[in-house]
Amino acid sequence: MTTQTLIPDSETHGMAATAVLDESSAASSDGTGQRSGGIIRERILSPQTESGTGWPQTEVQATNRVQRLQLASPLIRLAAGSLPKERIRVLQQWEGVVTDVGEDSFWADLQDLGDSSLPIEIVELPIEEVPEDDRDLLVEGGIFYWSIGYETSVGGQLRRMSEIRLRRTPRWTKRAIQRVRQRAEELFELHGQQ
Amino acid sequence: MVVDSCLNNTRAQPIALEYLNSLGVDIATQVRLVVLTHWHDDHIRGSAKVFSEALSARFACSAALRNREFFSILAASEQVRPVARDGSISEFESILEELHRRNKRGVRRSQGGPDFWAQDGLPLFQSIGTGSATVTALSPSSQTMTDAAARFGKLIPKVSSQIKRFPRSTPNDQSVALLVQSPACSILLGADLETVGDPQRGWQAIVDSPSRPQVMCDAIKVAHHGSENGDHDDIWSTLMHPDPPAFVTPYASGKKPLPSEDDIQRLKSRTRQLYCTTWPPTRRPPRRNSSVQRTLREMALSHRSVSKRVGQIRLRASMTQQGIPTIQTFEGARQL
């Protein structure tokens, strides 16, 4: 059974609404919900229409409304004690900069994020430790975060964990490149002539 | 004269300033020349602060940087800096800005940019009076300057490519090697200059150069952290007196720390007076929680830590009378 609770914008900081689901609703999707990675996201209509006259009267009105309304917040409130939670306890974290990439391994300079007074550490790690989705980011100069700790699974099992995540950086846009060209010309005119 | 810059790990201050202050040198009036041999981060950190305090100094850098392509990299670094947290190249830009400010204040006569775009055979400094000293650039060669624009051009970011740090450009033949001469002593400062296959570039170009002062040097700062690429037989036979004091600065980062054991053996075969500013350059990393240690043992193929001790070597020689220079080591520096 799904319980829907409508929350005014003022309480949701601009989000149209949020949903309160009970445990049974997580296993199935009704007509208004959609599954996304195991989480049900509810489309919930606000009671206020654009004209302020109430609920939509026709299917077309409702469709238009749905297009304009935001998706419900992904916030899902579970009843207390309904599910055990997965917990992660981080023991160590570094920020790394890739300095060299080989066939099966890569080298990096690590800075301890818990104690910045410690000197730089140099490490060689197997490429297979990097998530496949991140491997295209494994280039000289790439930045990553390495965390080591313990993970308590949903079933209560304790596991030692290590996670390497490459930082995704923005891409150069045409406009940014144009600005670089223009700035380079200014700098060269100012400093490159003698 | 201050050549290149690095920071003290513990105090985050340029080591050159600390040293000169400890000697009681008035940095504002007595430092006459600041040289950046090349733009790599292990040679440039803190250089903007050094130059900002050296108010009477002139500034020299490699003529291989004098092209629109390098200035494009400088311009792009403004956007790379916040994303990739790499501020090293901005030191160079800060120095250019300081030069511009000095121009506007009228304390410089130059129209703009560095006082010297250093290249093979260019005199950078000459003192007057008894025991006068001269500083001459020995590189880059003309061929290197011709090639430089194309090399930097390959580093300029392209549309849709990810914003990231600039990779180190190798081979490193754009560095400014320097010859420091006084009537009593001559010293060769090798920067990161490498030997490359082309005789018109790198060390071979210096050895063959007709514009180089034809002197034999008494001491050498070994090039490129003592690597094999930074070495050349003719340096020791053509440019140096036999068995000279030789000073190596290690490079602890990356795939292969420098100098390697093989490099040490090779250099020891060149001279019996080999010194290193920090030895060993790496040490065991700090001990951590036992679970973290276990994970590190299981995952890391190698793991080491940069030595926190930044050592110094001091060579002192008379400016006027021939004699044996004295050499002292401080902190992590030692003779190998």
CA distance B111 to B61: 16
Q: Are residues A92 and A158 in the same domain?
A: yes
CA distance B151 to B167: 12
Q: Answer yes or no: is A161 within a domain.
A: yes
Which residues in chain A are contacts of B300 at CB distance < 8 A?
A: 123-125
Q: Do A191 and B76 touch (CB under 8 A)?
A: no
Q: Answer yes or no: is A123 within a domain.
A: yes
In angstroms, the separation between the Cα of residue B252 and the nearest Cα of chain A is: 8
Q: Give the sheet arrangement for strand B33-36, strand by strand.
A: B2-3, B33-36, B58-62, B116-118
Q: Are residues A61 and A118 in the same domain?
A: no
Confidence of residue B11 (pLDDT cuts 50, 70, 90): low
Chain A contact present for B184, CB below 8 A: no
Q: Answer yes or no: is A185 within a domain.
A: no
pLDDT (average), residues B158-176: 83
Nearest chain A residue to B302 by CA: give it. Answer: A124
Nearest chain A residue to B62 by CA: give it. Answer: A192
In angstroms, the separation between the Cα of residue B292 and the nearest Cα of chain A is: 6
Which of A39, A55, A77 is the last residue before a domain boundary? A77
- Residue B188 three-state SS: strand
CA distance A138 to A133: 10
Chain B contact present for A126, CB below 8 A: yes
Q: pLDDT, tens digit, for every residue of B122-151?
A: 999 998 877 789 999 999 999 999 999 999
Most B CBs within 10 A among A147, A179, A191, hence the mutation to make, goes to: A191
Number of domains forming the structure of chain A: 2
CA distance B160 to B170: 25
Most A CBs within 10 A among B9, B116, B301, B308, hence the mutation to make, goes to: B301
Which residues in chain A are contacts of B100 at CB distance < 8 A?
A: 190-191
Walk along chain A (194 residues) and give the pLDDT tens digit of each residue. Answer: 333 333 333 333 333 333 333 333 333 333 333 333 333 333 333 333 334 444 444 555 544 544 444 445 555 555 555 555 678 899 999 999 999 999 999 999 999 999 988 889 999 999 999 999 999 999 888 899 999 999 988 888 899 999 999 998 889 999 999 999 999 999 999 998 75
Residue B315: phi and psi, rounded to 5, are: -110, 125
Q: Do A190 and B112 touch (CB under 8 A)?
A: yes
CA distance B203 to B223: 10
Question: How many Cβ contacts (< 8 angstroms) between chains A and B?
Answer: 160
Nearest chain B residue to A184 by CA: give it. Answer: B72
Mean pLDDT lowest for which of A81-90, B95-104, B217-226? A81-90
Q: Answer yes or no: is A179 within a domain.
A: no
Q: Over chain B, what is the mean pLDDT?
A: 91
Intra-chain end-to-end CA distance of chain A, in Å: 79
The boundaries of the domain holding residue A131 are: 87-166
Q: State the CATH number of the domain containing residue A161.
A: 2.40.50
Chain B contact present for A159, CB below 8 A: no
- Assess whether pLDDT exceeds 50 at residue B250: yes
Query: Which domains occur in chain B, in start order?
Result: 2-335 (3.60.15)
Asked whether B126 and B182 are in contact (CB, 8 A), the reply is no
Q: Answer yes or no: is A156 within a domain.
A: yes
Chain B contact present for A128, CB below 8 A: no
What pLDDT does residue B183 have?
87
Which of A31, A50, A77 is the last residue before a domain boundary? A77
Instruction: Report which DSSP code applies to B330.
Output: E
Confidence of residue B90 (pLDDT cuts 50, 70, 90): confident
Nearest CB to A173 within list B85, B159, B282: B159
Q: Are residues A59 and A94 in the same domain?
A: no
Between B112 and B104, the higher pLDDT residue: B104
Q: Are residues A91 and A57 in the same domain?
A: no
Which of A42, A77, A112 is the last residue before a domain boundary? A77
Q: pLDDT, tens digit, for every residue of B261-312?
A: 999 999 999 999 999 999 888 899 999 999 999 999 999 999 999 887 788 9
What pLDDT does residue B150 have?
92
Q: pLDDT, tens digit, for every residue of B29-71?
A: 999 999 999 988 888 889 999 999 999 999 999 999 999 999 9
CA distance A120 to B7: 13
Instruction: Report which DSSP code applies to A119.
Output: P
Most B CBs within 10 A among A172, A175, A181, A193, hence the mutation to make, goes to: A172
CA distance A5 to A184: 56
What pLDDT does residue B256 have?
85
Chain B contact present for A156, CB below 8 A: no
